[in-house]
Amino acid sequence: MNTHTTSKTPVTLLGLGDMGTALGRAWLAAGHPLTVWNRTPKRAEPLVGAGARAAGTAAEAVAAATGPVILCLLDDASVGETLDGIDLRGKDIVNLTTNTPAEAQQRARWAEERGARFLDGGIMAVPPMIGRPEAGGYVFYSGDPALFERHREALAVPAGTTFVGEDPGHAALHDIALLSAMTGMFAGITHAFALIGPEKDLDRARFATLLAEWLGAMSRSALGIAAQLESGNYTEGVTSNLAMMTAANGTLLATARDQSVDPGLLTPYMELMRRRVAQGHGDEGLAGTVGLLGGE
Ligand code: NDP
């Protein structure tokens, strides 16, 4: 008998899409007893072939659970549908389904009302990064800190863990904030490739390397913005102020026009910078534009 295997926390996993299946494989590979359920039973077959036990219903899977019950479903509505009517008393629910902060808070209350402990997670990885620590993927967790501590070891198997507080909405807030920043970055990349689009003699691969390196270096500006937001002094340590950048924006727009590129992905942010300068804050860095979006 493999005593090493039986000492590992049993994991129950509801949802075997691309991400759920990757998570399940990681727990099996690390020797955790794994019970799985999926709405479409056929999708459980690969994990059952690798050693998981398939439960006939979600209720049966939850009833048998002695360790964390992990949910990795499409959205919050599918979590509600799956757990509807199931006895959750005394269960440790860990919801890795992508949701909004408000949905996570509401789901935490919903679970607590049903006698369960609740932890919400936001996965910062794609399935091929799961179970490969060197890939750098991790999961934001928030909610019940005791629950996080109790299952920390099992939760760290598929990807790194970053606990961001007791408010159950904070994992989703971190997740969505990072994805939102990424969306802005993708908009910038799209614009940059459109700019060089007409130039047939330019090497796209070489340009892409230069672009990725530049974005990597510039992304460090987030640290300076955070320091300014903390201190409330938006002119401290500024090397490129808004007045200079707003003037340079004219050059960016003129080049877009010359290359027949729609500047629509850039102009909303340029307008924000212009407004802050118009308020008399041309000597500030980018921190001054944050408040113009609201959210304070
Ligand atoms: P998939 O689309 O591959 O799988 C969706 C899963 O949700 C399936 O198990 C599906 O069951 C189930 N499902 C959908 N609706 C319902 C419902 N009403 N009731 C019960 N089960 C339902 O998605 P992923 O596995 O890729 O993603 C799962 C979660 O992980 C999502 O919240 C996603 O945002 C998150 N995530 C995914 C990443 C990725 O790159 N894939 C990255 C980071 C987070 P069925 O098989 O029966 O359709």
Domain positions in the chain: 11-165, 173-292
In the prediction, which pLDDT does 198 show?
Answer: 86
pTM: predicted TM-score of the whole model, two decimal places: 0.93
Split at pLDDT 50, 70, 90, the class of 4 is: very low
Which one is the CATH code of 11-165: 3.40.50.300, 3.90.550.10, 3.40.50.720, 3.30.457.10?
A: 3.40.50.720
| pLDDT tens per residue, range 202-221 | 999 999 999 999 999 999 99
> At a CB cut-off of 8 Å and minimum separation 6, what does 239 contact?
285
pLDDT of residue 261: 98
Q: Lowest mean pLDDT of 31-40, 148-157, 233-242, name the range.
A: 233-242
Report, as an integer, the average pLDDT of 34-46: 98
* pLDDT class of 3 with cuts at 50, 70, 90: very low
Per residue in 101-143, pLDDT (tens digit) is 999 999 999 999 999 999 999 999 999 999 999 999 999 999 9
Choosing from 18, 19, 62, 107 the residue with most ligand 1 atoms within 8 A of its CB, the one to mutate for a pocket test is: 19
Question: Which among 131, 125, 161, 171 has a CA at the least distance from the CA of 25?
Answer: 131
- What fold characterizes domain 173-292? N-(1-d-carboxylethyl)-l-norvaline Dehydrogenase; domain 2 (1.10.1040)
Average pLDDT over residues 54-58: 98
Task: Determine the distance separating the centroid of ligand 1 and the alpha carbon of 210, expressed in angstroms.
Answer: 35
* Per-chain mean pLDDT for the chain: 96
Mean pLDDT of 160-173: 98
Q: Give the position, in ligand 1's atom list, of the atom nearest the Cα of 40.
A: 47
Question: What pLDDT shows up at residue 2?
Answer: 43
Question: Looking at residue 208, what is its pLDDT?
Answer: 98
pLDDT at position 263: 98
137 C-alpha to ligand 1 centroid (Å): 18
Give the number of the atom of ligand 1 that is nearest the alpha carbon of residue 75: 32
Nearest CA to ligand 1 atom 3: 17
Cα distance between residue 275 and residue 243, in whole Å: 11
The pLDDT, as a whole number, for residue 25 is 98
- Measure 20 CA to ligand 1 centroid, in angstroms: 7
pLDDT for 51: 98
Instruction: Report the nearest atom of ligand 1 relative to the CA of 77.
Output: 18
Residue list, ligand 1 pocket, CB within 6 Å: 15-20, 38-40, 43, 72-74, 78, 81-82, 97-98, 123, 126-127
pLDDT digits (tens, 9 = 90+) for 59-87: 999 999 999 999 999 999 999 999 999 99
